[in-house]
Chain A
Amino acid sequence: MNIFHREPKAENRTHFSVDRKFPHPENLRLSTHALSVYIGGNPILKLVNVEIPKNKITCIIGPSGCGKTTLLRTFNRLVDTIEGVKLEGVVMLGEHDIVRAAASEITEIRRLIGLVPQRPCPLPMSIYDNIAYGCRIHGISGRKKLDAIVEYYLRAVGLWDEVCDRLHMPASRLSGGQQQRLCLARSLAIEPSYLLADESTSALDPISSRTVEELFVKLKQDYSIVMVTHTLRQAKRIADHVIFMYLGEVIEEGDADQVFNHPRHELTQQYLNGAFS
């Protein structure tokens, strides 16, 4: 079964401009320069310099504890929730300096950078409200407008046919895979430029996991996706660009084909061969 069989027509999908609700700065680039993150004085990230390429899937790989998730969470400043965290260096999103952003700027940055969580995490409200929530807080109202947005993004993640007759059911009743696609749709609905995915398929069964994966591949036409993944196979399947991290440092960064097939660095080679994980 092809879950995309009722996906919005191609010309529609790439043309958010048709119903663009939010200002869209052109050529938003996301990059870090000498980014260091300390938690309680311990360096978690050391002088990280990366640039996230546009309209590609960037996979961050590396052994557990290497700082993948911290890097991801620095992009939308969710690191702030950790006790004793300190940021140094520069993270730029277009003109926003994420490290130095004031509270009011952060909400805007978070709108531009969506997050698909590790475990599906629907908000405690109906399916409809889950999608509408983000739009409402960013100032979009009106029944008709919201109806259209909800339908549009549920279609975009292939969930519309499954739930269109029970939109006002609590989202917690959906299956795990459906919940994760709902979370994806929820992130898309506020029209981010970047999507962060933190092991977003790890809590799903293999079939749902594949479905979500395929969605990411489709979505890269319109979004730049940064993904932390714990399975090398997944990274090999979908990555266009790879960042390999080890003990808080970026060891190697480059085109997926190059990193996987012709790693330049010894450590990368060993990691890919399964010497450590």
Chain B
Amino acid sequence: MNRRRLKDRIAGYSMFILTISSLFLVVAMGIGLYMKASPILQEHSLWDLLSASEWKPMKNQFGFFPFLMGTLWVSGLALIIAIPISLLTAIYLTEYSHSMVRRFVYPFLDILAGLPSVIYGVWGMLLIVPWVANVAAPWVGRSTTGYTVLACGIVLGVTVIPLLVSLFIEIFSNVSHELREATFALGATRWQTTKNVVIRKTAPGIVAAIVLAASRVMGETIAVIMVCGNLAIAPGSLLDACYPIPALIANNYGEMLSMPLYESALMFAAFILFFVVLVFNLFSRLVLKKIKSE
């Protein structure tokens, strides 16, 4: 009798410890990265780091501005591409389609979600980059290599579609049928119902989903590095090369060990990424949880 109770207790405690220590990972990550980043923060002010444009590690110049802008441009474009496509797809799948269609489309979304980032990179190099160089750029009278914000944004946009669609579908299916039927009964069309009831009712959820998608896009590394051009200058247009933060970290991991401040700079970049993603995730997950519990 007591042995059973003891077993129950011991199992409980050990599982509790496992749970706590796995949770501790978030904290450890934040603290670890911050500690590694602190040498450069002592040398340069936060504002200097973020606003300076010169990136010359050998000369002790660490300006993150080009990388921040690269990330912003690329993420913004990716979301502009992905949001309408995902929203329309999700609306079609939840509001319009038969279950037959859904059964046909879901595996495709599964595949899209499952493909590794490096494969998207290969796809970008094989199709998107040449398309930008040979079709898009000449069309506006410019010439580029194709390794541009545009190519990068398209590739990232596609990678994030499955995440957005699945989040949207989950949010939309939380809207009760009675509500939809109520406006149908007033003679509204399907689209009017969707627009006035479903989307309005789920607006906070849609925003949360987009924020979540933004955090995913910002952290994408390998696909970005393969098509972005890796030029440390803040992009001025869609047809300029760019250099987002994850690419900066990944490209320089080998050299950084030789110079302490260089390593610290890269860890600072990782810390920015961690911090932004953490805040975005906390916000959107809390909103999504609240919606789900209603």
| Cα distance, A103 to B7, chains bound together (Å) | 13
Complexed CA–CA distance, A103 and B4 (Å): 11
- The reply to whether the CB of A14 lies closer than 8 angstroms to some CB of chain B is no
Listed A/B pairs (6) with beta-carbon separation below 8 Å:
A103-B5, A104-B2, A104-B4, A107-B5, A137-B4, A139-B4
B residues with a Cβ closer than 8 A to A are 1-2, 4-5, 8
Interface residues contributed by chain A, number (CB under 8 Å):
6
Q: Is the CB of A108 within 8 A of B1?
A: yes
Report the separation of the CA atoms of residues A270 and B4 in the bound assembly, to the nearest whole angstrom: 50
Interface residues of B, dominant DSSP: helix
Q: How far is the CA of A172 from the CA of B135 in the complex (A)?
A: 61
Q: A107-B4, A108-B1, A137-B4 known; 8 other A-B pairs, CB under 8 Å?
A: A103-B5, A103-B8, A104-B1, A104-B2, A104-B4, A104-B5, A107-B5, A139-B4
Q: Nearest chain B CB to A21's CB is how many angstroms away?
A: 14
Interface of A, secondary structure class, is: helix
Compute how far the CA of A139 lies from the CA of B1 in the bound complex, rounded to whole angstroms.
Answer: 9
Residues in A with CB closer than 8 Å to B8 are 103
CA distance A103 to B5 in the complex (A): 8
> B2 to chain A: which residues have CB within 8 Å?
104
Instruction: Compute how far the CA of A276 lies from the CA of B25 in the bound complex, rounded to whole angstroms.
Output: 58
A137 to B2 alpha-carbon distance, docked (Å) = 13
A106 → B minimal CB distance (Å): 10
**Separation of A156 and B148 alpha carbons in the complex (Å):** 77
CB-contacts of A103-121 with B (<8 A): 103-104, 107-108
Nearest-CB residue, chain A, relative to B5? A104
A108 proximity list for chain B (CB < 8 A): 1
Chain B positions within 8 Å of A103 at CB level: 5, 8
Complex Cα distance A104/B9, Å? Answer: 10
Contacts of A107 in B (CB 8 A): 4-5
User: What is the 8 Å Cβ interface bit string for chain A, positions 72-100, against chain B (1 contact, 0 not)?
Assistant: 00000000000000000000000000000
CA distance A139 to B3 in the complex (A): 10
Which 5 interchain pairs have the tightest Cβ spacing?
A104-B5, A104-B1, A103-B5, A104-B2, A108-B1
State the Cβ distance, B176 to closest chain A Cβ, in Å.
24
State which residues 127-166 of A face B: CB under 8 Å.
137, 139
CA distance A108 to B5 in the complex (A): 11
Q: Tell me the bound Cα distance from A139 to B2 in angstroms.
A: 12
Chain A 241-253, CB-CB to B under 8 Å as 1, else 0, gives: 0000000000000
Q: Which chain A residues numbered 184 to 219 have a C-beta less than 8 Å away from chain B? A: none
**A107: nearest chain-B partner, CB-CB:** B4
Contacts of B4 in A (CB 8 A): 104, 107, 137, 139
A277 to chain B minimum Cβ distance, whole angstroms, is 27
Tell me, in angstroms, the Cα distance from A107 to B5 when the chains sit together: 9
Give, as a whole number of angstroms, the nearest-CB distance from A83 to chain B.
13
CB distance from B277 to the nearest CB of A (A): 33
CA distance A4 to B1 in the complex (A): 36
A139 contact set on B, CB distance < 8 A? 4
Residue ID in chain A nearest B8 by CB atoms:
A103
> Nearest-CB distance from A115 to chain B (Å)?
19
CA distance A139 to B8 in the complex (A): 15
Nearest-CB residue, chain B, relative to A104: B5
CA distance A5 to B8 in the complex (A): 43
In chain A, residues 208-240, which have Cβ atoms closer than 8 Å to a Cβ of chain B? none
Nearest residue (CB) in B for A103 is B5
How many whole Å from B12's CB to the nearest CB in chain A?
A: 10
Query: How far in angstroms is the closest Cβ of chain B from A263?
Result: 42
- B241 → chain A closest CB, angstroms: 56
Contacts of B5 in A (CB 8 A): 103-104, 107
Closest to B3 in A: A139
In the assembled complex, the Cα of A50 lies from the Cα of B293 at a distance in Å of: 39
Bound CA–CA A137/B4 (angstroms): 8
Q: Which residues of A contact B1 (CB under 8 A)?
A: 104, 108
Nearest CB of chain B from residue A89's CB, rounded to whole Å: 26
Q: How far is the CB of B160 from chain A (nearest CB, A)?
A: 37
Taken together as a complex, chains A and B put the C-alpha atoms of A36 and B112 apart, in Å, by 57
